[in-house]
Structure 1
Amino acid sequence: MPSAKGVVQILFEGIVKPHQAAVAGGEAPADHPRRCELSLWDLSMFSVHYIQKGHLFSLPSGDPPVEVIVERLKSSLSIALWHFYPVAGRLATEMDADGRGMFVHIDCYDQGAGFLLAAAAGVTVADVLSPSEDVPSFVRDFFPLDGAVNYDGRSLPLLAVQLTKLEDGVFLGCSFNHAVGDGTSFWSFFNAWAEISRSKEDGRGHLSKPPVLERWFADGRSPIKMPFTHEDQFIERFSPPPLREKMFHFTGASLSQLKAGANEERGTDKISSFQALGALMWRCITRLRRFPDDQKVGCRLAAENRRRLRPQLPPAYFGNSIYAIPVTTTAGELLSNDLGWAAGMLNQAVASQTDGAIRGMVEKWMASPCVYPLSAFDRQSIMMGSSPQFDMYGCDFGWGKAAALRSGSANKFDGKISAYPGREGGGSVDLEVCLPPDVMSALESDEEFTRVLSPAGR
């Protein structure tokens, strides 16, 4: 695994393996299969980075001690890995007999997840929060496997976690292979691990919502042949240009007003708060990029397919089931119309993501399998990723609610926006925004944007 840089020092690095015997009461599943096939949505993720998300916990009294936290995390992680056994495996590649393609699956041989203990000397919880400043650069060092793409999971762990000691708290960072699962799967695993951790006090390691691990295949057949013979044909090592990264906070009340205004302008009641917020970011960033009127511009919304398919996939389906829904227009048309017009376009695009539309995209991909590169997200667009509907603050490991959420350097590019629920709840949202320095500076003082932004602005 790559070494941490800057203020972060790695103190320990090891492997945690699944442990069936750790679960009392027969809750663990039967011995699992050795092989887990990958769906088309999983395979298409090979060239993007691991998902990197983590929690900041304030522990000013030093209670519980870090040694106790480490032991609790490792023992509960071993149980979580038994329930989510693909995460403890490694990717495996087999060449087709005709030499014209390859098959990739997860070898579920319980190779284990990475576990690191680190220390950030002199860094406090307040230093990480920095509500009026950019996200500090040292935050990226709270995450392992920096720079790894998902196909690297042939030799790297598919999951690696890092506990970083701060002066008055800890940061728990998780790097999760995106070919194994999407954001829904990531937070399902994280919440399951937390539930096991806090329930270990009674010796059981309880898990109330086991994952559904069987993968979805449109035609019922697997495995899927990829038309490649070498990773150079489909792997891109993407590095973004210099970017500023900042967290912006929106209260539930301000988003309700934004939603009401967009619906009134559109003459509907169908536009959601998130669609109105996406339209706001699309308009503001497009204006500040100063494109000519005829420049094509886009907004992509990450949308999951579980509930849109017929029959629906189970909510606990563990794997990838997402598409980035594209909406395009010209800069002139976007800015000459009001917020409701832009929000209405996003709403219509989401509504069109039906079972038939999804299966049409699946059929197109199966006819010509491909892997999505990060460079495909152009600087004329924005990408709204993650979701404020994920239960991120429900991850209670036994020492209270997190003080904040942050991400690593993975999957960042010009125009990438990630949404988090606000800590206070009530429909509040935090946006993590990545932009070039000049555009970010202009956004901080943009009137349309700051009118909705919370005064805290964190």
Structure 2
Amino acid sequence: MANHAVVHHISRCIIKPEFVSEKSNQHFHLTPWDLSIISAQCIQKGLLFPKPPPANDNDPSSPIIDHLKDSLSRTLVHFLPLAGQLVTHKHDDPPSYSISISLDCENTPGVDFIHAIADVTTSDIVSTVYVPPVVQSFFPLNEAVNHDGHTLPLLAVQVTEILDGIFIACCFNHVVGDGTSYWHFFNAWAETCRMLKGKHDHISHTCQPLRFFHFSPQSIARLKAKANAECNTSTISSFQALSALVWRSITRVRRHLTNHQKTSCRLAINNRSRLNPPLSPDYFGNCVQTVSATATSGELLSHGIGWAALLLHEAVNGHTDGKVRGWLEAWMMNPFIYQLGNFFDPCSVMMASSPRFDMYGCDFGWGKAEAVRSRSANKFDGKVSSYQGRKGGSVDLEVSLPPESMKALEADPEFMDAVSPSHYLRMN
């Protein structure tokens, strides 16, 4: 059913901050981290929740939607840049251009809010290891890139009601913030919604295939112990060991790679705690880069998981305050914009997102989410997004590979031996 389901849009409106205290225009200046990804696609993540109990038997969904709109308006008061738009400024002396986020307090662009329905069930979405095509239609703004924030909203929300649940998805302009900022906002919105629960109860109203792989806490612990034992150390982290497994496994199933072909594994890394003095964990904006380890395909596959994990550990350990500030100084001297389509090659692996993001802490008042899913934005051969698992300590990986490589990965003994059956796969 999920392969043929259609998402129907019921309504669309603009949500603005409940109030903006200043009466003058505001400009939020951007950093090199923000500007360097102006050509990248937006962050598109969403959470699947069980269906909230109806507050109105005549129109059960309306109070829920109004509740979400009201809480979003109140949340935006604390995240004003999300209600603005990008503006390019031309300067004559010296000749140059700059981009900032503009917020016109008298005419705030606001946030796009879509209410939709789809004739699918929770089981249709999560009981298969492949992400059903209908999930792509749960996200707004389609293939928008960050530069489109000059004309499109910097934040768009789509709330899709399914037969036994509700999917809340955001398209979040990446220039405004990184994954840490995204989940900070999502959790703040959920908390506001939860705190307002009950206040509306009395109101009457008229590319490539993705697959989610689940890794239990026990499986991750075994990988970490094995990697450290092979290197006679205790410094390799759980995520470094898991990333090493993924790097080796994807390299092995790429039949076109020769032993002499170089391959890299890139890890997205949060700079906030690496700066001296550190930035606050609540810093809202982009503060993320990548670090990488490189080897030939032959080297990677002739050594164990510990060898690869140690390379990743050394790359992470070497990302110091000096490295971060050096990148910023170099960018200021010679600004550039990442072209993500050319930045990653088909011989390498990119580990993005983070299981440290508090995804399942987003409680809108209806209980814990059933699953997290994303759209196809920023997906390419070898892109792996890591998510917090629903059970504490577990990790879910969303892997993007061509069909032939994906089929080989599903048959790879080392990789599949570490994969754990998910709750829904056991039920179905």
Tell me if both proteins adopt one fold, taking TM over 0.5 as the criterion.
yes
User: What do the CA deviations read for 1:133-189 (whole angstroms, capped 9, x no partner)?
Assistant: 310011011000110000100110000000011011111111100000000000000
CA contact (8 A) 2:50 2:366 kept: no
Q: Specify which of 380, 388, 412 is matched with residue 446 of structure 1.
A: 412
Q: Distance in 2 between matches of 1:312 and 1:374?
A: 28
Q: CA deviation at 1:37?
A: 0.2
Between 89-98 and 42-51, report the one with greater CA deviation: 89-98
SS at the partner of 1:72?
Answer: helix
Q: Distance in 2 between matches of 1:324 and 1:51?
A: 17
Q: In the alignment, does 2:17 pair up with 1:37?
A: no
User: What do the CA deviations read for 1:85-127 (whole angstroms, capped 9, x no partner)?
Assistant: 0010000001221584310000022320010001112x11111
Q: Distance in 2 between matches of 1:16 and 1:60?
A: 22
CA contact (8 A) 2:115 2:159 kept: yes
Aligned to 1:56: 48
CA contact (8 A) 1:62 1:169 kept: no
State the one-letter code of the partner of 1:139: V
Q: CA deviation at 1:30?
A: 6.6
Q: In the alignment, does 2:266 pair up with 1:295?
A: no
Aligned length: 407
CA RMSD of aligned residues (A): 1.9
Q: In the alignment, does 2:239 pair up with 1:274?
A: yes
Aligned to 2:218: 253
Percent identity at matched positions?
52
SS at the partner of 2:197?
Answer: helix
SS at the partner of 2:100?
Answer: strand
Q: Distance in 2 between matches of 1:140 and 1:419?
A: 18
Between 447-456 and 136-145, report the one with greater CA deviation: 447-456
CA contact (8 A) 2:146 2:174 kept: yes
Q: Distance in 1 between matches of 2:122 and 2:335?
A: 45
- Structure 1, unpaired ranges of 5+: 21-27, 204-241
Between 395-404 and 55-64, report the one with greater CA deviation: 55-64
Q: Distance in 1 between matches of 2:375 and 2:61?
A: 22
Q: Counterparts in 2 of 1:246-395, with a 5 A limit?
A: 246-290=211-255, 291-375=257-341, 376-395=343-362
Q: Distance in 2 between matches of 1:113 and 1:32?
A: 20
State the one-letter code of the partner of 1:382: V
* Alignment CA distance shift 1:398-1:339 (3 Å): same
Aligned to 1:13: 12
User: What do the CA deviations read for 1:52-81 (whole angstroms, capped 9, x no partner)?
Assistant: 010111228656832121011100100111
Q: In the alignment, does 2:117 pair up with 1:125?
A: no
Q: CA deviation at 1:368?
A: 1.0
TM-score by length of 2: 0.92
CA contact (8 A) 1:62 1:168 kept: no
Q: Distance in 2 between matches of 1:167 and 1:318?
A: 36
Q: Counterparts in 2 of 1:19-98, with a 5 A limit?
A: 19-20=18-19, 34-59=26-51, 65-97=60-92
Q: CA deviation at 1:245?
A: 0.5
* Alignment CA distance shift 1:431-1:29 (3 Å): farther
TM-score by length of 1: 0.86
User: 4+ runs of 1 displaced by more than 4 Å?
Assistant: 28-33, 60-64
Q: Specify which of 179, 182, 203 is matched with residue 175 of structure 2.
A: 179
State the one-letter code of the partner of 1:59: K
Q: Distance in 1 between matches of 2:296 and 2:364?
A: 47
Q: Distance in 1 between matches of 2:332 and 2:18?
A: 37
Q: Distance in 2 between matches of 1:7 and 1:202?
A: 32
